C-alpha cells in the first residue's frame, strides 16, 4: 500500500482538502495523512466547500508534522511554500513533491467572495490530486 503525507502550514485548509481528495481517488491502494508545521483546526469553510463536491472531511483532524516523524512514507507533498521552507527535508526516504496553492483562509471580501476563493483552491487541489493518482499509482 502506498502512503502519502500532505504538509501545509496550519493543516486547516489546503492539506485537508488534498487529504480528502487523495483518500477518495486512491481508495484502498492509498493511505493518506495530513499535517502542518502548526495546527489551526480544520477550517469549517474547507469542510463546506469540499462537501459541495461530495467529499466529507468533517472527521479529519489537524495534526502537527512531528506526529509523523517516525513513520515511513512513499510520498511527502507540501502544498504551500511556507511548509516547504520550514520542512525542506522530511526525515524519510519518501519522494518529496511540492505544489504551492493559494491559501483560501486569507481571502478577503464578503461571504460569497471568500467561498469563491475556497472553491478556486479546492478545484486546483482536486486537479493536482487526480494527476498525482494517474502519475504515481
CATH number, residue 17: 3.40.50.2300
Q: Are 126 and 18 in contact (CB under 8 A)?
A: no
Per-residue pLDDT of the chain (137 residues; tens, 9 = 90+): 999 999 998 999 999 999 999 999 999 999 999 999 899 999 999 999 999 999 999 999 999 998 998 889 999 999 998 776 666 556 678 899 999 999 999 999 999 999 999 999 999 999 999 999 999 98
Q: Which of 18, 80, 83, 125 is catalytic?
A: 80
- Residues 6 or more apart in contact with residue 80 via CB below 8 angstroms: 8, 9, 14, 100, 101, 103
Q: Which of 8, 50, 55, 65 is catalytic?
A: 8
Number of structural domains (the chain) is: 1
Cβ of 108: how many Cβ atoms within 10 Å?
7
β-partners of residue 35 are 7
Distance CA 72, CA 112 (A): 41
Catalytic (active site) residue 13: no
Quick one: DSSP state of residue 94?
A: P
3-state secondary structure of 71: coil
Q: Are 64 and 109 in contact (CB under 8 A)?
A: no
Question: Whole-model pTM?
Answer: 0.94
3-state secondary structure of 60: coil
Range of the domain at 97: 2-136
Helices and strands (H, E) in the chain, number of each type: 4, 4
Q: Which of 31, 84, 86, 87 is catalytic?
A: 87
- Using alpha carbons only, give the angle 79, 81, 87 rounded to the nearest 5 degrees: 85
Quick one: DSSP state of residue 80?
A: S
Amino acid at each position: 500500500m502506498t502512503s502519502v503525507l500532505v504538509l501545509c502550514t496550519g493543516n486547516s485548509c489546503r492539506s485537508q482538502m488534498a487529504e480528502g481528495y487523495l483518500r477518495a481517488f486512491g481508495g484502498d491502494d492509498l493511505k493518506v495523512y495530513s499535517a502542518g508545521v502548526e495546527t489551526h483546526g480544520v477550517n469549517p469553510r474547507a469542510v463546506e466547500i469540499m462537501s459541495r463536491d461530495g467529499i466529507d472531511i468533517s472527521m479529519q483532524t489537524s495534526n502537527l508534522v512531528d506526529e509523523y516523524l517516525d513513520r515511513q512514507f512513499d510520498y511527502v507533498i507540501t502544498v504551500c511554500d511556507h511548509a516547504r521552507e520550514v520542512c525542506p527535508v522530511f526525515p524519510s526516504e519518501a519522494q518529496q513533491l511540492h505544489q504551492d496553492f493559494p491559501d483560501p483562509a486569507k481571502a478577503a471580501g464578503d461571504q460569497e467572495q471568500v467561498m469563491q476563493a475556497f472553491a478556486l483552491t479546492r478545484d486546483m487541489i482536486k486537479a493536482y490530486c487526480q494527476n498525482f493518482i494517474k502519475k504515481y499509482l
